[in-house]
Structures are given as structure tokens and as C-alpha cells.
Amino acid sequence: MKTVDHYAGIDIGATNIKYGLFDSTGKIIYRDQKPALVEKGATPLLHLVTNIGENLLLRAAEEEMNVRWLGVGSPGIINNVTGEVAGACPNIPGWVGIKIGSHLKEYLNLPIYVDNDANAMALAELRFGAGKRFSSAVCITVGTGIGGGIIIDKNLWRGSNFSAGEIGHIVIKYDGKECRCGNRGCLEAYCASQAIIDRTKDKMKNGLTPIFEEVLSGDIQNLNIKKLFMAARKGDELALEVIEETGEILGAGLSGIINLLNPEAIIFGGGIVDGGAGFVEATGAAIRKRAFPMAAENLRILKAELGNDAGFIGAGLLGEYKSRK
């Protein structure tokens, strides 16, 4: 009988750390999460991740699982050869420069693989989720930020210096809004959650619509992305307009990616996508309108299937998708 391999993965997020164990069929054996408490600083976060890794491996050993390495997904640009956070990580103060890989290897004494969280999500969807029928796909996560993972020939395209897939920082307006990366006019400055909330507030500066009045208990300060989608699902015209508009902008930006790579599929995940209310449909329609007809003709526009588990699943798989460097 063929032995089933087991995998251990950790997905570091600015809010929560999600982690778990699964097997080579994609069956999840254990999953849990802990608050990341990033405000405490980078060193406590690294210790927390180490502790989580230790407990995961202990659990795997107790249940006699065959785990050969530990994989970790993290925000930011990750040097996946050294396992170091190399740059671009505004949501976790002090995280740039942290050597996740060598620290964990010293304490846990087994191979450690570290990569960007959106790259990990892309691998998970490729293996077990919406991408499993495809050899090329672009995965986009839309939430607090906009991240991306590019799959070419069933492997990650990491770029020449680890920074491929930063789709949120494609410039769609050369003199546009300031982005937290320091540049202007990035897609993220228009389509990530804070930008969407700001635009909604702006549209209601002369008063709330009846549905928002109810959803926000009369106070615009209660507006967040979940409430916006709630209003849209209740049929609020203004909320639907904001979502439609966001889809238009995002689709315009992403049509460039489709023209560039002509992938088989584009897969959407992340908090905003889970909100429903026609967001993916609006984005997909804009992509089809804007991209070259040949590039969009066979393009599949899909929602991610693995939800919150994608990050740790993809991290766990990293040992099978090593860098070609």
C-alpha cells in the first residue's frame, strides 16, 4: 500500500495565524488559528510562529504522520531561498529583515520552506482547489491589500528577485491616489477594502440610504466592508454601485495581466470576494470587456475554493515547489 504523505503549514496574517495538518489527498486532519498580535512587535510574532510550528510537529508525531518539512506563508516579499522577509510588508511592523526560515530551522530541526502568502494560496488552489485542471493561472486575493500568485507550467513564477505577483501595485493611473507602498495610482489604492469604504462614505456624505441607515444603526462610522456587502445583498443601490465600480476598476487593471500572460484561469479569493454581491462577476465582465478578445476568449474566471485554509495548505506544499534558482 502506498503511504500517504502528510503536510504541515502555517499561514501568517496581519490579524490571525492559521495553521494545520493535511494529507496528500487534500484532507485536512487538523486546523486552528491564533491572533497574530502584530502590535507586540516582530520578535514576539516570530516566537509565536515557532511555538505554533513546534506544537504542529508534535501533534503530527503523536499521530504518526509522515511530515518531512514545515511550510510557512507570510505577507511581504519573501526570499524563498533563505526564508527571509525581503521587503514590502506594511501590515506587520518590523517584519522586513526577519529570517523566518533560519530561525525555525534552528529550533525545529527539519527543512523549512517560506514563501509569500498569496503564492502559497495559489499553490493550494492549483493542487486541490479551483486551479487543479489548469497549468497556468493567476490567483488574486482582495482584502486589506491585493496580492497575487502566478502559476506557469504548474509551478509558481517567483520572478528574478522574488517579487513577481505584486498585482496590487500595478499602476492604473500615473498621477493617481497615493498608495501605502509609496507609489501613486496603484490598483490597491482603489480596490482594497479601505479604498472601497472611503468611496462609499464619500457617496453618502449627504446622508445615509434607508438600507444603510438600518445596517449601520444610523452611524456612518460603523461602516466596514462586511456592512457594505450586507447592504448590497439587501439590495441597496448605492452599495451595488460601489461594488460594480470597484469591479470595473479592478477588471481594467487585471486585463493588463490577462493580455500579458494569457492564462487559462484567473482565480479570486480573499475577504472581499467572499462578500459576494456580484463583485467577481463585475470584475470578470470588466476583464472580458477590456482584455484582448483572443486573450479573454478561453479565460475561466473563478472563485477560490479553499477559503481560509488555502494559506496554510499552500504553505505546507512548498517543499514540492522549490525555487528553480
Q: Which residues bind Zn ion (CB under 5 A)?
A: 169, 179, 181, 183, 186
Q: Which of 168/269 has CB closer to Zn ion? A: 168
Residues whose CB falls within 8 Å of the CB of residue 21, separated by 6 or more in sequence, listed in order: 6, 7, 8, 28, 29, 30, 31, 56, 59, 60, 65, 67, 316
Q: Which of 183/298 has CB closer to Zn ion? A: 183
**If phi over 0 gives left and psi between -120 and 50 gives alpha, with beta otherwise, what is residue 307?**
left
> Within 13 Å, how many C-alpha atoms sit on residue 243's CB side?
27
CB of 188 to Zn ion, least distance (A): 5
CB of 178 to Zn ion, least distance (A): 9
CA angle 15, 18, 24 (to 5 degrees): 155
Query: Distance (Å, rounded) from C-alpha 139 to C-alpha 109?
Result: 32
The amino acid sitting at 37 is L
CB of 185 to Zn ion, least distance (A): 8
CB of 249 to Zn ion, least distance (A): 14
CB of 171 to Zn ion, least distance (A): 8
CB of 319 to Zn ion, least distance (A): 31
Query: Distance (Å, rounded) from C-alpha 138 to C-alpha 171?
Result: 18
CA angle 144, 117, 266 (to 5 degrees): 80
Q: Which of 12/88 has CB closer to Zn ion? A: 88
Q: Which of 60/187 has CB closer to Zn ion? A: 187
CB of 198 to Zn ion, least distance (A): 16
Specify whether the CB–CB gap between 310 and 26 falls below 8 A. Answer: no
Distance, CA of 227 to chain centre: 21
Q: Which of 166/236 has CB closer to Zn ion? A: 166
Long-range pairs of 291-300 with CB within 8 A, sequence gap ≥ 24: 291/255, 291/258, 291/259, 292/258, 292/259, 294/262, 295/258, 295/259, 295/262, 296/255, 296/258, 298/264, 299/258, 299/263, 299/264, 299/265, 299/266, 300/134, 300/264, 300/265, 300/266
Q: Which of 29/181 has CB closer to Zn ion? A: 181
CB of 140 to Zn ion, least distance (A): 15
Q: Which DSSP helix (H) or strand (E) runs through 325?
A: none
Distance, CA of 61 to chain centre: 30
Q: Which of 184/233 has CB closer to Zn ion? A: 184
Q: Which of 186/215 has CB closer to Zn ion? A: 186
CB of 31 to Zn ion, least distance (A): 32
Q: Which of 256/319 has CB closer to Zn ion? A: 256
Specify whether the CB–CB gap between 309 and 7 falls below 8 A. Answer: no
